[in-house]
Amino acid sequence: MASEVKSTSDVKRALEAKGLDPSGLSRIGSRPSLVEYIQQLWQRRHFIWYDARHRASTQHSRMRLGNVWLVLRPLVDVSFYYVIFGLVLGAGGDMENFAAFLLIGILLFRSTSTSIGGGAGVLRANKSMIKAFTFPRASIPIAAVLQASMTAVFTMVVMCFAIIVLPPHEVPAWTWPLIVPIFLIQAVLNLGLMFITARIGFHLPDMANILGVFSRFLMYGSGVMFPITQFVHDPTVLTLVELNPLFQIIGMMRTVLIDGQVPEARSWLIVGCWAVGVLVAGFVFFWRAEESYGRELG
Q: What is the pLDDT of residues 160-191, one digit of tens each?
A: 888 888 788 888 999 999 999 999 999 999 99
Single-letter amino acid code for the residue at 16:
E
- Evaluate if residue 66 carries a pLDDT over 60: no
Over its C-alpha atoms, the chain yields an Rg (Å, rounded) of: 23
Cβ partners under 8 Å of residue 156, min gap 6: 107, 179, 183
Cβ partners under 8 Å of residue 279, min gap 6: 188, 189, 191, 192, 195
What average pLDDT score do residues 194-219 get?
Answer: 87
Distance from C-alpha of 162 to C-alpha of 93, rounded to nearest angstrom: 21
- Evaluate if residue 20 carries a pLDDT over 80: no
As a whole number, the mean pLDDT across the chain is 83
Cis peptide before 167 (omega within 30 of 0): no
Q: Where are the domains of the chain?
A: 1-30, 32-297
Please report the pLDDT score of residue 108 as a whole number: 92
Please report the pLDDT score of residue 25 as a whole number: 47
- Evaluate if residue 32 carries a pLDDT over 80: yes
Distance from C-alpha of 41 to C-alpha of 291, rounded to nearest angstrom: 16
Q: Length of the chain, please?
A: 298
Please report the pLDDT score of residue 195 as a whole number: 96
Model confidence over 139-158: pLDDT tens digits? 999 999 999 898 888 888 88
What average pLDDT score do residues 24-37 get?
Answer: 72
Which residue from 220, 86, 59 is spatially nearest to 155, judged by alpha carbons?
59
- Cα dihedral 83, 84, 87, 91 in deg (nearest 10): -130
What average pLDDT score do residues 23-50 get?
Answer: 81
Distance from C-alpha of 293 to C-alpha of 298, rounded to nearest angstrom: 9
CA distances from 46 to 31, 43, 49, 129 (A): 22, 8, 5, 17
Q: Where are the alpha helices (DSSP H) in the chain?
A: 2-17, 34-43, 45-58, 69-81, 98-119, 127-132, 139-165, 179-203, 207-220, 235-242, 245-254, 265-287, 290-297
Model confidence over 222-260: pLDDT tens digits? 888 888 877 778 888 888 889 999 999 999 999 999 999
Please report the pLDDT score of residue 151 as a whole number: 85
Top pLDDT among 184 and 54 is at: 184
How far separated are the first and last CA of the chain, in Å rounded? 15
- Evaluate if residue 294 carries a pLDDT over 80: no
Distance from C-alpha of 253 to C-alpha of 249, rounded to nearest angstrom: 6
Asked if 42 and 138 touch (Cβ cutoff 8 Å), the reply is no
Residue 268, classified by CB atoms within 10 Å of its CB into exposed (0-12), middle (13-18) or buried (19+), is middle
What average pLDDT score do residues 89-104 get?
Answer: 78
